[in-house]
Structure 1
C-alpha cells in the first residue's frame, strides 16, 4: 500500500482526523506567509520612510492594489501567486511609508503610531484566538461584510465631493468594524472549510490588518486633534 492509499484510507476511516490535519496545515501555511509578508511590507515601509518617498496618487494606488489583487486571485494555486502576494504587500508597505512620515512629524506622532500598532495587534490576536478557541462558525458575517463594503465605498466616494463634519471619523470607525468582521470571518472560514487556499487567506488577513491599523491611527489622530 503506497502513501496516497494510506492517506485515502485514513480519511475514510477517520475523516475528522484528516480534516484537522488539513486545517492545521492551512493555518501553518497562512500564518507563516502572513508573518513573512508583514516583515517584508514593514521593510519596504521603512525604506519608503527613509527615502521620504511621495504618496502615490489615488489612481496609482487603486490600479496597483486591485490589479495585483486580481492577479493573485487568478494565480492563487501557483508560485506566481506567491510572488504576486509579496508584490502586493510590498506595494502596500510603500504606500504606508508617507502616511507614517506624516504622523511622525506631529508633536505626539510617535505615541500615536505606537498606540495604533499595539491596538491593531491586540485586536487581531484577540479576534483570531476567539475564533480558533471557540471554533464558532462566523459565515453569517458574509452579508454584513458585503453591505459594509458597499457602504464604506459609497462614503469614501462621497468624501471626495462633499465636506461633511464627522464623515472621516465615521469612515474610520466603519473600517475598524469592517476589518474586525473580516478577521473573524476569514479565520472561521479556515477552520470550517470555507477557505482552502493559504495565499488568499493570507492576502485577506493582511489587507484587514493594514486597514485596521490605518483606521485606528486616523481615529487616534482625530481624537488627539491632530
Structure 2
C-alpha cells in the first residue's frame, strides 16, 4: 500500500509527465478524503464513548501530552503502515477529548442546537474552501507565512487566556482559530494540487483533520458566547 504517491518517471516526456502528475494528484486527493472521512467517523465514536463514560473534564496537560505526542508519532511513521494506526490513535484521542465539551453543551437548554449549528457551519466551510481550491486551481502557497505567524500569535494568546482568564481574549482566540483553520484548509488542499512533493496522504489527512477540529471547536465556542452560554 503506497503512502507516498509520487511515482512519475523522470524520463517521461513533458506531456506524459504532466498527465502522470495529474493522476498522482487525484490519487492523493482521493486517498486523503477517504482517510479523512474514516478518521472523522472514528472521532465521533470516541467522543460518544467519552460522553457515555460520563467524563466531565479533560486535564489540559494530558491533552497536550497526548495530542502532541501522538502527532509526533504520526509524522515519524507516516511512510509506513504504522502511520495509519498512529493516525487513528491521534484522531481517536482528539475525538475523546471532545466528549466532556459536548456533554457540557448538551446540558444547556439550547446545547444540542448549538452543536448541530457548529457542525453544519464546519461542514459548509470545509467543503466550500476545498471547492475553491479545487475548482479555481489557485495556488495558496503564499499562506504559509501567515500560518506560521498565526500559530505563534494564537499560542501566545492561548497562554495569556489561561493566565488572565479574560472573556474578550477568549472570543478573539476563537475567532482567530476560525481564520487560521480556514487558511490551513486552503493551504493544504493547494499543496496537494500544486506541489509534486506533497504526496503523503497521511500527513495531508492529519493537517485537514486538525483544521476541521479547530474550526468546529472555535465555532462552537463563538456560538456559545453569542448565545450567552
TM-score, normalization: structure 1? 0.94
For the pair 1:65 / 2:82, whether they are aligned, the reply is no
For the pair 1:220 / 2:223, whether they are aligned, the reply is yes
SS class of match (1:137): coil
> How do residues 86-97 of structure 1 correspond to structure 2 at under 5 angstroms?
86-97=88-99
For the pair 1:208 / 2:211, whether they are aligned, the reply is yes
1:37 Cα deviation after fit: 0.5
For the pair 1:159 / 2:166, whether they are aligned, the reply is no
**Higher RCO by CA contacts (8 Å cutoff, separation 6 or greater):** 2
**Residue 172 (structure 2) aligns with:** 170
Give the one of 141, 144, 153 matched to 1:142: 144
RMSD: 1.4
Give the one of 89, 113, 125 matched to 1:123: 125
Cα distance in 2 for residues equivalent to 1:150 and 1:185: 17
Runs of 4+ in 1 over 3 A off after TM superposition: 7-11
Residues 133, 190 of structure 2: 8 Å contact kept:
yes
TM-score, normalization: structure 2? 0.93
Residues 56, 103 of structure 2: 8 Å contact kept:
no
Aligned length: 220
What runs of 5+ residues in structure 1 fail to find an aligned partner? 1-6
**Residue 24 (structure 2) aligns with:** 22
Cα distance in 1 for residues equivalent to 2:92 and 2:164: 32
Relative to structure 1, is the Cα distance of residues 149 and 9 closer, same or farther in structure 2, using a 3 angstrom cutoff? closer
What runs of 5+ residues in structure 2 fail to find an aligned partner? 1-7
